[in-house]
Amino acid sequence: MDYENLIAEAMEAREKAHAPYSRFAVGAALLAKSGRIYTGCNVENASYGLSICAERVAVFKAVSEGERDFEVIAVVTEKGVPPCGACRQVLMEFGEDIQVIVANGAGEYRVFALQELLPKAFRSKHLG
């Protein structure tokens, strides 16, 4: 897996973030098992609850294109912050084995298993 390429895609996506309120720009690049990469950036709104995170933008773009199987997501913030809980839960819907690359603005990164970031997650099996 070429982590550097995926991080570069996330960095480019981060440049498109609309974060006038928090000034916390985030970019994400999601690699599907098909080999396609889907990017996303956070989009804030004056009505804060209507804002959306970069990770969810990438996942929703991929799903809207028919993807359901993902390998890895790169998330880039200035200081290298992991995805929020809501994004972790959305990713978990598509598999606990997804790798999460957390990178900072300089391209330094750490890799986590999604299950490591969201242990004992709520899953579809809990509904039945």
Q: Catalytic pick from 9, 12, 15, 55?
A: 55
Residues 15, 67, 60, CA angle at the centre, nearest 5°? 45
65 catalytic residue (yes or no) = no
Contact 29, 37 (CB under 8 A): yes
Phi then psi for residue 78, to 5 deg, are -55, -45
Q: How far is CA 77 from CA 62, 66, 106, 124, in A?
A: 21, 28, 10, 30
- Residues annotated as catalytic (active site), given as ranges: 55
